[in-house]
Structure 1
Amino acid sequence: MPNDQNSQPYAAPAPPAAAPRSFGGRTDRTGLAIALMCATSFIFAMQDAFSRMLGSEYPPVLVVMLRYWFFALFVIAMVSRQPGGLRRAIRTRRPKTQILRGAILVLETTLMVEAFVRLGLVGTHAIFTAYPLLIAALSGPILGERVGWRRWTAIGVGFVGIVIILQPGSAVLNLGSVLAFASALLFALYGLLTRHVARDDPAQVSFFWTGIAGAATVTVLGIGQWEWLAPADWIWMGLLCVCGLVSHYLLIRAYELAEASALQPFAYTQLVWVSLIGVMVFGEALHMNVVLGTAIVVAAGLFTLWRARVKGT
């Protein structure tokens, strides 16, 4: 929800708005950071499971709205402790782009929850793994970055993996698949806009606007679908919100302790946890084409990250 910043870290855009490295900048402790990233990935998977449960009973936008209200409080609490506090965080040189980022992330999260309900955790995440490839493909026309032939080849190979997952003409290619891919595309746009605003705004500012603009946007979209949750479901919602806070805190700590390039491969462990939860809790099927296609997409995504790192050094 990415991930609100959601629930999908995999190869989070740099600098990740939900994990601003300016919140610490301490000495490199890569081993501990990797452990924190793995723990974060497990909690993100649990968060997705709670979202799937609640999204099957209530409008997804309502679930996202309640999450964002809680998340906005977390953002305010975190930012207020940083140098300059809220007064510094609210000052942005790109207010329109920051608001757009928050709105896109809300829409992405809502579509993701809807995809969980329609397609399941396993299928949704299998398709969502394409978003680092979408970032690489769109970084040229949107940010003017140069994408060489090696990365274009990896992007092409990755989309072959997506075709293997979807099996065009089969029952897998349905509205849930479309929603999952749309969510990946929106998250890629969010990541590119995050890079764009990072040229002028520090991570603390982007973090603040992600939460506040997102909460405002989802309130406008979702308040008309308000309904009270059943008493037992407030427990699941509470667990969902707690998972969101803990995962974001651990993610922030991980990025304080080590470079993003060292952590991103371990973010893919979320796929393992999501698959286990999907199969064992929700009775989802883990088809061989999904396993093979996801492996291809992940390998292609890791290659594009590696090439980006090489080109940046």
Structure 2
Amino acid sequence: MDGTLRGILLILVGYLLIAFSDAAVKWVVPQVGTGAAMMWRGIFGAITMAVLARSTYRGVSLRPVNVRLITTRSLLHCVVTVAFYVAWAHGLPLAETYALSSVSPLIMTLLAIPLLGEVVGWRRWVSTLVGFSGVMVMLQPGGSLWNWQAAALLAAVALMALTRLWTRVLARTDAPVVITFWLMVAHIPTGLLLMPAFPPPGAFIPSLGVAAALMWIGCGNALAHFFFARAFASAPVSVLAPFEYSPLIWGLPIGLVIWGDWPAPATFAGAGIIIAAGLYNLHREQMRARQARLGGKAA
């Protein structure tokens, strides 16, 4: 299979797993607390990656090559996870969460300039600024997203965009299973440290149903991030970035069926502006790459 097509399929499957895992998190966090959810996610996720490494990638060591970047990326992603979990614990709907997360590709476009050395022309600058105006449409004063949870989530999305680009960098030195394993391991001590601030509302040992949900959260998230790492190793960031919008496809019906959540009109309007800007950036990137190839052939 072509590397680009493989990357697209992997990231789509990854986001499908993430959507159902996030729904389980939103259901289970009020019952176990953010700290416990982080810890159990890390335990089950790390076990999943260890089993995958042993059964599928025989001979592959889980020892990282780029230790510093893997450690930094894993800890930053734990901060992202905490922000999402706290937002869900305070009732932020799933679809609104994904609408705010749709700004990630625009942030990735800007971060790719210093981190990956990409050149962004004036058209992409303008479309990116227009896309950020979609965030202001969603966050209109007095609207459903005019709260501190949305503000914290936007800050977390910026960190998430950075970790996405670092995944591309790490793919040059470390296998996807190694990147994901240490990401899951980082959740365990982070969850334990958060226990005093976010204590479990009930018993520390969850019930059977909650335990099954926590197991799915760990396994599903681990497999999703493994697919993300493989996707970014197979295809360019500019090709995969627009598929950051795919959680909206899954999150809207899941939130509607389980919690009866229906986003406000401003959320739809803002998300539409952001997605249009992101797709235009993809179009400009493809044109630039095509011109570079033609120029190289002419030379």
Match for residue 60 of structure 2? 85
Q: Does 2:27 align with 1:50?
A: no
Q: 1:262-306 CA distances to partner (integer Å, 9 max, x unpaired)?
A: 666555332122011212211223211111111111222233344
Identify the residue that residue 189 of structure 1 maps to in structure 2.
162
Length, aligned pairs only: 283
* Cα distance per residue 1:87-132 (max 9 Å; x no partner): xx4141x322210100011110111122223321121111111111
- Greater shift in the superposed pair: 27-36 or 279-288: 27-36
Q: Distance in 2 between matches of 1:99 and 1:117?
A: 27
Check the 8 A contact 1:140/1:147 in 2, yes or no: yes
Distance 1:43 1:202, change over 3 A: closer
| Offset from partner CA, 1:22-69 (integer Å, 9 cap, x none) | xxxxx3398898666555433322111111111222322321221111
Contact persistence 2:239–2:282 (CA under 8 A): no
The whole-number CA distance in structure 2 between the counterparts of 1:113 and 1:29 is 33
Once residues 136 and 194 of structure 1 are traced to their aligned partners in structure 2, the CA distance between those partners, rounded to angstroms, is: 15
Given that 1:102 and 1:217 are in contact with CA atoms closer than 8 Å, whether structure 2 keeps it comes out as no
Matches within 5 A, 1:121-270: 121-198=94-171, 200-201=173-174, 203=176, 205-212=178-185, 214-222=186-194, 224=196, 225=199, 227-244=204-221, 247=224, 265=242, 268-270=245-247
1:189/1:229 CA distance change after superposition, 3 Å: same
Question: Take 2:114 and 2:46, find their aligned partners in 1: how far apart are those partners?
Answer: 32
Q: What displacement does 1:187 show?
A: 0.2
> For the structure 1 residues 271 and 74, does the alpha-carbon distance in structure 2 shift closer, same or farther, using more than 3 Å as the test?
same
Letter of the structure 1 residue corresponding to residue 23 of structure 2: A
Structure 2 stretches lacking a partner, 5+ long: 294-299
2:37 counterpart letter in structure 1: V
RMSD: 3.3
Tell me if structure 1 keeps the 8 A contact 2:177–2:226.
Answer: no
| Structure 1 residue ranges without an equivalent (≥5) | 1-26
2:70 to 98, 104, 116: 98
Secondary structure of the structure 2 residue equivalent to 1:57:
helix
Identical-residue share of aligned pairs (%): 27
- In the superposition, relative to structure 1, how do residues 255 and 131 fare at CA in structure 2: closer, same or farther (>3 Å)? closer
Query: Structure 2 length normalisation: TM-score?
Result: 0.79
TM-score, length basis structure 1: 0.76
- Work out the CA distance in 2 between the residues paired with 1:231 and 1:183: 32
Query: 2:297 — aligned with what?
Result: none
**1:103-114 alignment runs, 5 A limit:** 103-114=75-86
1:116 equivalent among 83, 88, 99: 88
Deviations 1:129-165 (A, max 9, x none): 1111112222334454432212211210111111111
Shift of 1:255: 7.6
Aligned AA for 2:249?
Answer: V
**Contact 1:44-1:243 at 8 Å conserved across structures:** yes
Whole-Å Cα distance in 2 between the matches of residues 211 and 297 of structure 1? 30
Contact 1:68/1:218 (CA < 8 Å) preserved in 2? no
Q: Look up the match of 1:24.
A: none
> Could you say which residue in structure 2 is the equivalent of 1:5?
none
